[in-house]
A and B are shown apart, each in its own frame.
Chain A
């Protein structure tokens, strides 16, 4: 048994890394456990085949995928399929070492969707128990402590902000210029989107060199503002913080009164250990956090920890994408990373469903072999001719479109499947609602209009509602709310059921607007950490 600490945090990713730093800085004794290892510049293998993101399941650098199976099904009556975990990055920094780093703030109305638009039938759409104003200072802190580039005021639909971005936006590339021209022609409002990628020297790191290998790759110059490069090193410098890598938590342990007393985990040498702590914080991502709670059943908590509401694992949201493609009869070189350099938010609010639109990350040749209009040959001379003719004359419009929460979209424990450590694995039940598909189709129609205005000679869209499995952008599985009967967490990510147990990551999301989730999870990490620091100081969390 390890020495008892003030707080143990499960997961050192996008949100957990921030919580670790905030609590360690406040003088609390912190142990942080992560399933993965450190990734460094030497992991920045920059060829397309090295990236699981661009070429799913190839030479992945995300170790242990095969040891992390999950099962998937569309609904209760569909067959279940077992597959490795997918695009979840285990490791210090979590997804922030690998992601595309889009760093949006949600808008004011995104926190009160139910009172603005009502609750569509079959959904559990609700207001958040906090507002944009509550989070604004924490968004700002995230942008400044991590390093987010962008241009304040350039987006007329963006939410109000008190300070500019700490570093200027990425320069516009040729695709961005074409996108902006087309969008303006349509009366839309293009602007450079925000990224957790620094564009000039900032806090000891150097700026982005605009290489074409960004989303799905470790940054070779550390310009991506991962928590592993920013806040976690600060936590380590406090002297009261320990990060243990390659530690796999199987359950949260409770005492005979039902309060949590620590976590049990397998360490690097497969030894089963116990880490006692006054406070347990789970920041393992919306799939894994719910899994740990559900796997932590006990006599007092027969349905899993903090699950008296039966809401743990439910209301899973993942975004329903919208993707459209166009080919042109002139060159639009797309080799300056990260790729998206102009966006519009004209369709990201003011409606139940919608999302930002931008041109996508730099495309690479293998992925491009699958980018073809419907009916085009997949092989042979015509395929090669298309590859030659259009690789430099191609534009991909991408949006993360809002999807609705629903009770039947959920993660739960698969009754048969276990992972490489013998821990019961997740079963994911997931299907998009007709209203989600409608929203996706609406946004892809807007994408096609932009491509047309840009002069594309052939335009097509990906079918709406593909994908949707867990892997990235997962959220909602431990939703926040005022009513303990209908939600898992209060507005500070503290479980309603157990006062010294918190879940701080995208699990808490109540609804999911059409913007990437990370910066909001990070703002919430600052907001919740503030609360924990106050409560700790007052002694409220120190009982027993």
Chain B
């Protein structure tokens, strides 16, 4: 009896999140459109499909480009984010489904191609429109956020999310799936783990 009651409130809380009371747009998209993520799973992923993975890796490689140390793609940011979406940040998964589709749509409108097929300077231009909250496309338009919630348009909010997660995937402990061989830690001379 008591357990049922507690479950009820837990569900209510999740519903509130879905209704945007907790500032989540992707869930609206999920409720309205997608039941589950379609398409062939990307290699090594548990949630993101091949097309989403390609777009996300290209974005991660612009957020943290390769130099003599790896970029976002080679550091395994994709696997970090896929892990998060199937684990401790599962509430973000529909933001990613909608957002990655939105990035490809904006790329088509601006340069006539999917994001991963654009030239580097074109990719940067697309991301800059996201960052300013001015990305074009039906998806971004449909998922404008309720007033009084987190500031910014839907494209800007997705951009903030993917920047945050790319930084985490690149600089977090490798045990979460990113930061391959701790190379980012070597790059900045970070001690990482406590000495014993």
Task: Using CB atoms and an 8 Å cutoff, list the residues of chain A in contact with chain B.
Answer: 46-49, 55, 58-59, 66-67, 69, 79, 81-83, 209, 211-213, 220, 266, 269-272, 335, 364-366, 369, 378-381, 383-384, 387-388, 391-392, 418-422
Shortest distance from the beta carbon of A187 to any chain B beta carbon, whole Å: 34
A48 contacts B172, C-beta separation under 8 Å = yes
Q: List 9 A-B contacts (CB under 8 A).
A: A46-B194, A47-B175, A66-B13, A82-B16, A209-B196, A335-B191, A366-B172, A369-B171, A383-B64
Q: Mark B164-194, 1 if CB is under 8 A from A, else 0.
A: 0011100111011000000011011111111
Q: Is B2 an interface residue when CB atoms closer than 8 A count as contact?
A: yes
**Which listed residue, B6, B12, B184, B194, touches A211 by the CB 8 Å rule?**
B194
A418: chain B residues within 8 A (beta carbon): 9, 12
Q: Is B65 an interface residue when CB atoms closer than 8 A count as contact?
A: yes
A392 contacts B2, C-beta separation under 8 Å = no
Q: How far is B175's CA from A174's CA once the two chains are assembled, in angstroms?
A: 30
Q: Is B49 an interface residue when CB atoms closer than 8 A count as contact?
A: no
Q: Is B31 an interface residue when CB atoms closer than 8 A count as contact?
A: no
B194 contacts A380, C-beta separation under 8 Å = no
Q: Is B44 an interface residue when CB atoms closer than 8 A count as contact?
A: no
Indicate whether A67 sits within 8 Å of B13 (C-beta atoms), given known contacts A46-B193, A213-B194.
Answer: yes
Q: Mark B1-40, 1 if CB is under 8 A from A, else 0.
A: 0110110011011001000011100000000000000000
B196: chain A residues within 8 A (beta carbon): 209
Shortest distance from the beta carbon of B2 to any chain A beta carbon, whole Å: 3
Q: How far is B13's CA from A82's CA once the two chains are assembled, in angstroms?
A: 10
Q: How far is B192's CA from A469's CA once the two chains are assembled, in angstroms?
A: 31
Indicate whether A49 sits within 8 Å of B194 (C-beta atoms), given known contacts A82-B22, A422-B5.
Answer: no
Q: How far is B88's CA from A271's CA once the two chains are assembled, in angstroms?
A: 29
Q: How far is B176's CA from A58's CA once the two chains are assembled, in angstroms?
A: 12
A272 contacts B172, C-beta separation under 8 Å = no
Q: Which of B63-112 contact A (CB under 8 A)?
A: 63-65, 67, 69, 88-89
A422 contacts B9, C-beta separation under 8 Å = yes
Give the interface size class of chain B. Answer: 35 or more
Q: Mark B37-64, 1 if CB is under 8 A from A, else 0.
A: 0000000000000000000000000111
Q: How far is B67's CA from A66's CA once the two chains are assembled, in angstroms?
A: 40
Q: Is B124 an interface residue when CB atoms closer than 8 A count as contact?
A: yes
**Which listed residue, B2, B23, B147, B189, touches A270 by the CB 8 Å rule?**
B2
Q: How far is B23's CA from A81's CA once the two chains are assembled, in angstroms?
A: 9
Q: How far is B189's CA from A83's CA once the two chains are assembled, in angstroms?
A: 36
Q: How far is B176's CA from A117's CA once the two chains are assembled, in angstroms?
A: 53
Q: How far is B166's CA from A391's CA once the two chains are assembled, in angstroms?
A: 18
B127: chain A residues within 8 A (beta carbon): 379
**Which listed residue, A212, A365, A387, A421, touches B9 by the CB 8 Å rule?**
A421
Indicate whether A270 sits within 8 Å of B65 (C-beta atoms), given known contacts A83-B22, A366-B172, A379-B163.
Answer: no
**Which listed residue, A211, A365, A420, touches B195 by the CB 8 Å rule?**
A211
B191 contacts A49, C-beta separation under 8 Å = no
Shortest distance from the beta carbon of B120 to any chain A beta carbon, whole Å: 11
B176: chain A residues within 8 A (beta carbon): 49
Shortest distance from the beta carbon of A107 to any chain B beta carbon, whole Å: 35
B65: chain A residues within 8 A (beta carbon): 380-381, 384
A380 contacts B13, C-beta separation under 8 Å = no
A388 contacts B6, C-beta separation under 8 Å = no
Task: Using CB atoms and an 8 Å cutoff, list the residues of chain B in contact with chain A.
Answer: 2-3, 5-6, 9-10, 12-13, 16, 21-23, 62-65, 67, 69, 88-89, 124, 127, 131, 147-149, 163, 166-168, 171-173, 175-176, 184-185, 187-196
**Which listed residue, A46, A48, A272, touches B2 by the CB 8 Å rule?**
A272
Indicate whether A419 sits within 8 Å of B9 (C-beta atoms), given known contacts A47-B172, A55-B168.
Answer: yes
Q: How far is B65's CA from A388's CA once the two chains are assembled, in angstroms?
A: 13
The 9 closest A-B pairs by CB, nearest first: A211-B194, A79-B148, A270-B2, A47-B173, A365-B171, A391-B188, A369-B167, A379-B63, A49-B172
Residue of A nearest to B167 (CB): A369
Residue of A nearest to B190 (CB): A365
Taking A81-B23, A392-B188, A422-B9 as known contacts, 8 extra A-B pairs with beta carbons closer than 8 A to each other, sorted by chain A number, are A59-B88, A209-B194, A209-B195, A335-B191, A369-B171, A378-B163, A379-B64, A381-B65
B171 contacts A270, C-beta separation under 8 Å = no
Residue from A47, A220, A269, A384 with most neighbouring chain B CB atoms (10 Å): A384
B184: chain A residues within 8 A (beta carbon): 365
Residue of B nearest to A366 (CB): B171
Residue of B nearest to A417 (CB): B16
B190: chain A residues within 8 A (beta carbon): 364-365, 391
**Which listed residue, B2, B10, B16, touches A266 by the CB 8 Å rule?**
B2
Residue of A nearest to B159 (CB): A379
Residue of A nearest to B62 (CB): A380
Q: How far is B171's CA from A55's CA once the two chains are assembled, in angstroms?
A: 12
B175: chain A residues within 8 A (beta carbon): 47
B10 contacts A420, C-beta separation under 8 Å = yes
B168: chain A residues within 8 A (beta carbon): 49, 55, 58, 366
Q: How far is B22's CA from A323's CA once the two chains are assembled, in angstroms?
A: 28
A212 contacts B191, C-beta separation under 8 Å = yes
Q: How far is B13's CA from A266's CA once the two chains are assembled, in angstroms?
A: 19
A381: chain B residues within 8 A (beta carbon): 65, 67
Shortest distance from the beta carbon of A424 to any chain B beta carbon, whole Å: 12
Q: How far is B163's CA from A366's CA once the two chains are assembled, in angstroms?
A: 11
**Which listed residue, B89, B147, B172, B188, touches A388 by the CB 8 Å rule?**
B188
A387: chain B residues within 8 A (beta carbon): 187-188
B21: chain A residues within 8 A (beta carbon): 82
B195: chain A residues within 8 A (beta carbon): 209, 211
Residue from B67, B147, B194 with most neighbouring chain A CB atoms (10 Å): B194
B185: chain A residues within 8 A (beta carbon): 365
Q: How far is B188's CA from A392's CA once the two chains are assembled, in angstroms?
A: 7
A79: chain B residues within 8 A (beta carbon): 147-148
B63: chain A residues within 8 A (beta carbon): 379-380, 383
Residue of B nearest to A220 (CB): B194
B6: chain A residues within 8 A (beta carbon): 270, 420-422
B173: chain A residues within 8 A (beta carbon): 47-49
Shortest distance from the beta carbon of A249 to any chain B beta carbon, whole Å: 15
Shortest distance from the beta carbon of B24 to any chain A beta carbon, whole Å: 11
B62: chain A residues within 8 A (beta carbon): 379-380
Shortest distance from the beta carbon of A216 to any chain B beta carbon, whole Å: 14
A388 contacts B187, C-beta separation under 8 Å = yes
A366: chain B residues within 8 A (beta carbon): 167-168, 171-172
